Structure 1
Amino acid sequence: MEYNKSFDDLLSNLMLADNDIRNAAEQQYSNFPFSTKLPMLIQSIRNSPNIENRQLAAVLFRKVLNDKNDEYRKLDESSQQYCKTELLTALQSEESDLVRRKVCDAVAELARLYVDDDNQNLWPEILQFLFQFANSPNLSHKEVALQIFRNFPTIFGNQQTHYLEVIKRMLFQCMSDTTNHKIAYLAVDATTAFLMVNDNDQLRRHFQDMVPPILTVVQMCLAKTDDDSPLKNLIEIAEAIPKIIRPHLNDLAVELIKNISNSQAESNYRQLSLEVLVTLAESAPAMMRKHGQIIIQLIPQCLSMMIDLEDDPEWSAWDNSDDPEDSDSNPIVAEFALDRLAMALGGKAILPHIVSVVPQMLQNGDWRYKYAGLMAISAVADGCQKQMMQLLTNVVMTILPFLKDEHPRVRYAACNAIGQMSTDFAEYFQKKFHDKVLPQLLDLMDDIANPRVQAHACAALYHFCDDCPSHILKIYLEPIAIKLKALLQSKLQELMQQGTKNVLEQAITAISTVAQRAEGNFLPYYDHFMPSLKFIIQSATTPEYRLLRGKTIECVSFIGLAVGTDKFLYDANDVMQLLLKTQTGDIEMTDDDPQVSYMMTAWARICKILGKQFVQYLPVVMPPLIKAASAKPEVAIFDEDDEKAQDDGWEFVKIGEQQKFGIKTAGLDDKGTACQMLVCYAKELKDGFVDYVEEVSSMTRVRGAAIESLPYLIESAKFKGGLVTQIWQFVLEEIFQAIKMEPEPEMLANVLDSFAKCIESLGKGCVNGKDMEKLTEIIHEQIKKLQTNAQLRQELRGDEDYDEEVEENLQEENECDSEVLGKVTDLIHVLFKTYGQEFLPVFDKLLPDFAGLITPDRNWQERQWAICAFDDLIEYTGNASFAYHGYFLEQYINSITDVHCEIRQSASYGCGIIAQFGGEEYSKFIPEFVPPLLKVITDASAKEIENLTATENAISAIVKICVYRSNLIDVNLILAQFLNWLPITEDELEAPHIYGFLCNLVESNNEIILGKDNCNLPRILSIFASAFITGILADDVNTKTRMETIVNQIKVTWPSLA
């Protein structure tokens, strides 16, 4: 095909700023058929006199191939050959670097289409072309070969292993070309792409000797500062395959820290150097901890970068919602790096170096040092939580004076530290430091000259109150309310006069939290705030006040929930009408409007306040809620240069060199919030929600809050006849899929928990036949998966970098798996409870799994949950359980005195269950339970808090043996000790058995219990009093009443004891 000038002109029009001409050109371009478009683009690539046109033609060619690859495969052989030949020819003749690079992208895209399902490259000429150009003395040819390989690193297909040494040699030679750093940079880029796409440990180890030349190129990059791509490539390698760097880590760190410390170096290169080391810390923390000298040198450099501040006189006067801080500035990047280092490496590795440097910074007369030091404390607090707890008093007493520092930015940083610690050391911090912290924060809220400090003082107050025990908050409630009322009124005036709103937003957030925590104690202050808040909701309707209005809506709902229906009802109608105006479209809201999520949560709180009265609002509230909950996130693949690929509303994952996979995150948070609100409505309204059950149950996949809603939807559906069966049939299959596919342990635990609650709600018959078989297989697979995870953790304990912190992480992973196993056992519990002996044929299939978990070689959590499963077997199948006793009985007896209190508790409970529900076959074993149970009860540490539940279960087991199997033991020997074991204060499930037994003994005038001349009555009264005070029998009215009757009888008979 010949060059078509009119088509080339069309390409020019596609780049014009004039919308009308460009839109017309886009329409005309889209009308060209595929078979015509490709050759015309190629001719423009080859022959257009305009560089921009040639470049655009190459970009469009690649895009067409990417979008229509199936149509390309339908082209005849000659047309395909034309495309291949012409593009390769263009690469040989094209003089422009920019055009040549885009043609390389197009050739790489074309090459992808010739690798078949067997991974065979059906375009051998491209491989010959690569070898020829890679070995060419012409530098532009080498660039072409490297660019194509970088864009399509698996281009060799199933011949890659055969050519592996050739590929490695090619990359090494190009990387070692110090005469042309551009080639060396490209070679690092190509090598990185090759290593990223080949997730093969053996291949990556084979390329480990490529690391030194990569590091040499990185040094070159740091010296020349002309292209930061080698540093970015190194970050990719550090994230994906950090161990490949291990032999060269010290040398690399020296170079990087040298660059970080160079205050004259470009910020971008300093920050990327820092990012390499931080990424290594995150991806291989144990390896970095083993190289402690690196951390010693790195921490001071981070602190030094945090000092790189300018004293902007307008900083403190800022009062706008949009934070003016530059997120790419050295101080912000370094602060975030410190945070990440602490989270990755832990307090043992980080805190000593903070403690050795920060105190000196805080004593420096320069405000920048004090600011940076305080912000550093905030940054590492979360990651160093355990170690900082031991120093917390000293740390807090060090920070507090800076709340009164002469420089506003230092006061701001001190507020930041207080807010951070309020969160990281929640409750303990509030209990210990409330008298020192709260008065000073309230004083700072008067800093009228520095709105930014005012706002941060409000934020710190919010964080402090968020986890403050109500009895402590009550002490300060009046001064807090007075301060917040004054601030609300003054800042509302400023809003109307000047449009400033940040302090107002933070004050309203603080009011929300104070009301939430104070609950009914907030009632006297209701009228201080509600009129102003209603005014804001009514007046702040323009786009720039969306966040303010949303936070105010939230605040009103929190206050309403705190003070209760009676007080809120007076304003409820006005508030409802204001919210309904927003909900019905009188106030326009976009999809990313922050008010949306505030509205949804506010409705849910108002639902809790109004109860069934809220049903009348569901027709208005539900449509947008269902829309948000059922929204599907928008996903797409973008070219690197696509405008949307830079959009803040998207998150991207790089796929190859030229493309990104994007997911639109706007609306995702609202989806999660909406699902949580549906849970609330179903839970609160029950039959009032029945009209929405069918739609809600089928609108979204089972995950997160959606799964949590299922038991409540089932309960609501019961009010509408056959609807519950219809919904359950749909939900059950969804649950099965969710259990199979859910990757997150926490989510999986939620799915299993909701499944158990649904079965408990629906009762026998809801899971039968094939569904029970599916369930059995799913439980088996989950246990098998958990065992595999445990084996992998054990293998990691043999890693060369294994240390205490690694073990802590492994224990955390084990805890997550244990939670899942606990929920599996809860599900077994519900199935035994629901089906009784009918469940035994199903349990038989799972018996090898649970029998394997109970053995002494398994970790204690696995043993605990296995014992719980056998406890349920005994409790709900009675005599039939004896057929299984060979699997668990010996382990029960051995576990009664286990070192882990959780094991002792489960085994002791099981012994009591055997006595209560087991058949006569167990009789010969029951006396063997008594000695170890007594050993647990009488141990010197039996009454320590961590042992109480195990001890009380042991007591209960002895009681059940006395009640149900008294013929097997000498009960009088037990009764002689019994009162010494009481009171019990922790286990509400076992308390009725124990106190009921005591009532039996007192009511029957048992001489051993009452003592000679009733001398034990004061002791018995003391035990009863403890039970009343602790409320341990709150759910057992019968036993509590019996005890009260006994107490009254004692008062009458022995008035001196009253």
Structure 2
Amino acid sequence: MDLTQVLEATASPDTQLITQAQQQLEQAAQANLPAFLTALANELSNVGKSDVARMAAGLQLKNYLTSKAVEVKVHLQQRWLGMDLTVRQHIKIAVFNTLGTEPAHHRSAAQCVAYIAAAELPAGQWPEIIANLLRNVSGTSNTEAVKEASLEAIGYICEELDPNVLAVQANEILTAIIQGMRKEEPSNRVRLAATRALLNSLEFTKANFEKEIERHFIMQVVCEATQCSDNNVQVAALQNLVKIMSLYYQYMEAYMGPALFAITLNAMKSDNDQIALQGIEFWSTVCDEEADLSIEAMEAADAGRPPEQTSRFYVKGALEYLVPILLLTLAKQEEYDDEDDWNPCKAAGVCLSLMAACCENDIVPRVLPFVDQHLQNVEWKFRDAAVMALGSIIEGPEASTMEGFVHQKMETLISLMSDPAVQVQDTAAWTLGRVCDQLPEAALHESCREVLLNCLASGLEKEPRVATNVCW
């Protein structure tokens, strides 16, 4: 079998050739798996082979090392550990030496290194891999591609392993990652790989976040990365802030006023959807944390003990700045948005719902004027935003705070079930469902009960997305 030719055939536009190639590869694996994996590793590491063959070799090798199914993954790891040490050593050297030599658009070596490490490190094997990767990252003579691929491998290893497995090397790993993230790093590709690696290693950094000096340095580097000229680095840095807020809320007070508030507010306003999404996600995470802390405080009070952590009420303090941005973001939907696509508009609705649960009555005066102003706006996007805003805050505030306004707007909400824009009909149906669930007295008041029931009945014959919300 000409392995290169067969691997290239797996990328053929001819489905028959692909099927034949896959069958040949499976037969080779069944005949002699160690020899087959060795051949794949050799193909992957050979820079003289075509990009297509190397990419296919990496993909094949990866599939014999790991799986998304936990039971299969454990089986593959045990099978790997059962192979001859000489074979494993050859493959490990080959994939490690491949780092930084693959085409930029498709790299498998970093993942292969990580999946082998995920099998071997918990078994006390391949202890030198972390030190070797760190040497690749810090070596001044190493190329940008080698540093980038090595940081990717570190990130994947951190993602795969329990933090306890790497506890002894956690500081060295963090040092290398932070070095790659610093604004002084000339390569944005290296900065991006390092920033993504940090995201995967944040669970490892608990001891570092507990020390003020180390925490300050980590936060400084992450905040600086949010200002990078490369949008991908910005997004990855913001993802780190979201996760840091979730893991280390109790340490964030020193950074919220001077940095995090402004950084995330500006992100929410960004024209780049991915940046805006992370800015919104940050505040959704703060809402989640503070809602949990509120429950914990009540449970502690009932038990007559102090809570382990206390809320800093960041969301409540920032409502006047956050809510206007979220309301305008609700109006940024497009006419042909895919219902399944996650975008800033949908994220803003979820964030408002979380804020309503977190801040209860305090959010009402921040939202209702917008609803009142735009419920009958000539632009469908603003009508939709107004209805979505109302539906998003129905649960959370006391019923008595919302009932009067909602009762007053029932006629308009019902009329919007016949809006020219199907998006508005859809949102109106969803909001009416929320009203029926949370404020039944307003929904079933004798002044609108019959009209509402007739409206909902006719709604069952509308477009599926509208009818689905009517059923709910």
Contact persistence 2:192–2:236 (CA under 8 A): yes
Q: Give the distance between the partners of 2:415 and 2:249, measured in 1 at CA.
A: 45
Return the alpha-carbon distance in structure 1 between the equivalents of residues 452 and 165 of structure 2. Answer: 68
State the Cα distance separating 1:271 from its structure 2 match: 2.1
Aligned 8 A contact 2:394 2:402 in 1: no
Deviations 1:706-756 (CA, angstroms, capped at 9, x unpaired): xxxxxxxxxxxxxxxxxxxxxxxxxxxxxxxxxxxxxxxxxxxxxxxxxxx
**Which of 312, 319, 340 in structure 2 is aligned with 1:295?**
319
1:372 aligns with 2:385: yes
The one-letter amino acid paired with 1:56 is A
1:337 paired with 2:337, answer: no
Correspondence 1:80 to 2:88? yes
Q: Secondary structure at the match of 2:355?
A: helix
> Offset of 1:214 from its aligned partner?
1.0
Cα distance change of structure 1 residues 71 and 378 upon mapping to structure 2, 3 Å threshold:
closer
The aligned amino acid for 2:351 is: A
Q: Is the CA contact (8 Å cut-off) linking 2:239 and 2:278 kept in structure 1?
A: yes
Closer/same/farther in 2, CA of residues 275 and 83 from structure 1, 3 Å limit? same
Is 1:249 the counterpart of 2:228 in the alignment?
no
Letter in 1 for 2:210: R
In the TM superposition, residue 424 of structure 1 has moved relative to its aligned partner by 0.7
Q: Does the aligned pair in 2 maintain the 1:341–1:350 contact within 8 Å?
A: yes
Distance 2:42 2:173 in 1: 32
Query: What is the match of residue 186 of structure 1?
Result: 193
The residue that corresponds to 2:227 in the other structure is 219
Partner deviation per Cα, 1:150-205 (whole Å, 9 max, x = no partner):
11128899795554443332222211134222222222222221223x3x843542
DSSP 3-state at the match of 2:34: helix
Please list, as runs of the form range in 1=range in 2, the aligned pairs for 1:434-833 lying within 5 A after superposition. Answer: 434-441=445-452, 444=455, 454-455=458-459, 502=464
Judged with a 3 Å threshold, the aligned counterparts in structure 2 of structure 1 residues 182 and 246 are, in CA distance, closer, same or farther, namely farther
Partner of residue 411 from structure 2, selected from 391, 396, 400: 400
In 2, Cα distance between the equivalents of 1:271 and 1:358? Answer: 23
Letter in 2 for 1:140: A
Structure-1 residue corresponding to 2:77: 69
Q: Secondary structure at the match of 2:342?
A: coil
Cα drift, residue 58 of structure 1? 1.7
- Alpha-carbon deviation of 1:305? 1.1
**Alpha-carbon offset, residue 135 of structure 1:** 1.2
Counterpart of 1:37 in structure 2: which amino acid? F
Which of the numbers 112, 115, 118 marks the counterpart of 1:109?
Answer: 115
State the distance in 2 between where 1:156 and 1:366 align. 52
Does 2:236 correspond to 1:229? yes
1:608 alignment partner in structure 2: none
State the 1:213 CA deviation: 1.0
How many angstroms apart in 1 are the aligned matches of 2:419 and 2:241? Answer: 40
1:131 to 129, 134, 154: 134
Q: 1:370 to 1:82 in 2, by over 3 A?
A: closer
Equivalent pairs counted in the alignment come to 430
Instruction: In structure 2, give the amino acid aligned to 1:355.
Output: L
Aligned partner of residue 96 in structure 1, secondary structure: coil
Give the distance between the partners of 2:412 and 2:242, measured in 1 at CA. 41
Residue 27 of structure 2 corresponds to which residue in structure 1?
31
Deviation, structure 1 residue 445: 6.7
Which residue does 2:151 correspond to in 1? 146
Tell me how far apart the structure 2 counterparts of residues 296 and 377 of structure 1 sit (CA, whole Å).
17
1:423 aligns with 2:437: yes
CA contact (8 A) 1:188 1:230 kept: yes
Is the Cα contact below 8 Å between 1:172 and 1:213 reproduced in 2? Answer: yes
- The 5 A counterparts of 1:384-399 are 384=397, 386=398, 388-399=399-410
Aligned 8 A contact 2:245 2:252 in 1: yes
In the alignment, what sits opposite 1:851?
none
Aligned residue identity for 1:168: L
Aligned equivalent of 1:45? 44
Q: 1:396 corresponds to which letter in structure 2?
A: H
- 1:20 counterpart letter in structure 2: Q
| Paired letter, 1:111 | A
Instruction: State the distance in 2 between where 1:425 and 1:62 align.
Output: 54
* Corresponding residue number in structure 2 for 1:604: none
Q: 2:395 aligns with which of 359, 368, 382?
A: 382
Distance of 1:416 and 1:90 partners within structure 2: 53
Q: Are the counterparts in 1 of residues 407 and 442 from structure 2 also a CA contact under 8 Å?
A: no
**Residues 1:239 and 2:239 are matched in the alignment:** no
Match of 1:347 among 360, 363, 366: 360
The letter of the residue matching 1:219 is: Q
Identity %: 17
- Measured against aligned partners, the alpha-carbon deviations of 1:506-562 in whole angstroms (never above 9, x if no partner) come to 79959xxxxxxxxxxxxxxxxxxxxxxxxxxxxxxxxxxxxxxxxxxxxxxxxxxxx
Structure 1 position 355, deviation (Å): 3.4
- Are 1:14 and 2:10 counterparts? yes
1:594-646 C-alpha deviation (Å, 9 max, x unpaired): xxxxxxxxxxxxxxxxxxxxxxxxxxxxxxxxxxxxxxxxxxxxxxxxxxxxx
Select the structure with the greater relative contact order (CA < 8 A; seq sep ≥ 6): 2
Instruction: Choose the corresponding residue for 1:328, options 337, 342, 346.
Output: 342
Structure 1: stretches of 5+ with no match in the other structure: 316-322, 447-453, 459-490, 492-499, 511-1058
User: Would the alpha carbon gap of residues 330 and 297 (structure 1) be closer, same or farther in structure 2, given more than 3 Å must change?
Assistant: same
Following TM superposition, by how much is the alpha carbon of 1:281 offset from its aligned partner in structure 2, in angstroms? 1.4
Contact 2:349 2:389 in 1 (8 A): yes
User: Structure 1: how far apart are the matches of 2:324 and 2:445?
Assistant: 32
Written as runs of structure 1 = structure 2, the 5 A alignment for 1:984-999 is none
Could you tell me how far apart the structure 1 residues matched to 2:247 and 2:466 are? 45
1:59 aligned partner: 59
SS in 1 for 2:2: helix
Residues 400 and 414 in structure 1, CA contact (< 8 A), matched pair in contact too: no
* CA contact 1:211–1:245 (8 Å) conserved in 2: no
Q: 1:260 maps to what in 2? A: 268
- Structure 1 length-normalised TM: 0.37
> Does the CA contact (< 8 Å) of 2:368 and 2:390 recur in 1?
no
Task: Write the distance in 2 (CA, Å) between the matches of 1:330 and 1:159.
Answer: 38
Instruction: Give the Cα–Cα distance (whole angstroms) in 1 for the partners of residues 210 and 130 of structure 2.
Output: 25
Give matches, 1:789-938, under 5 Å: none
Q: What is the alpha-carbon root mean square deviation over aligned residues? A: 3.5
Q: How many Å separate the matches in 2 of 1:125 and 1:204?
A: 26
Query: Is the contact made by 1:253 and 1:277 (CA closer than 8 Å) also made in structure 2?
Result: no
Task: Say if 1:245 and 1:186 are closer, same or farther in 2 by CA, change over 3 A.
Answer: farther
Q: CA deviation at 1:26?
A: 1.5
Partner secondary structure for residue 170 of structure 1: helix
C-alpha separation between the residues in 2 aligned to 1:324 and 1:102? 31
Q: Tell me how far apart the structure 1 counterparts of residues 469 and 365 of structure 2 sit (CA, whole Å).
A: 36
Aligned 1:353-368 pairs, distance under 5 A: 353-362=366-375, 366-368=379-381
Distance 2:250 2:264 in 1: 18
For 2:456 and 2:111, locate their aligned partners in 1 and report how far apart those are by CA, in whole Å: 58
Structure with greater Cα Rg: 1
Contact 2:199 2:239 in 1 (8 A): no
Aligned match of 1:930: none
Deviation at 1:249, TM superposition (A): 2.3
Q: How many angstroms does 1:244 deviate by?
A: 4.3
Aligned residues of 1:402 and 1:411 also touching (Cα < 8 A):
no
1:329 offset after TM fit, Å? 4.6
Question: How far does residue 502 in structure 1 lie from its aligned partner after superposition?
Answer: 4.5
- Structure 2 unaligned regions, length at least 5: 67-72, 294-310
Return closer, same or farther for 1:443/1:41 CA change in 2, 3 Å cut-off. Answer: closer
Match of 2:103 in 1: 96
Query: Would you say the 8 A contact 2:316–2:359 is kept in 1?
Result: no
Report the Cα offset of residue 41 of structure 1. 0.3
Distance (whole Å) between structure 2 residues aligned to residue 150 and residue 508 of structure 1: 45
Name the TM-score, length of structure 2 as normaliser.
0.79
Q: Does the CA-based 8 Å contact 1:65-1:109 persist in structure 2? A: yes
Q: Counterpart of 1:81 in 2: which secondary structure?
A: helix
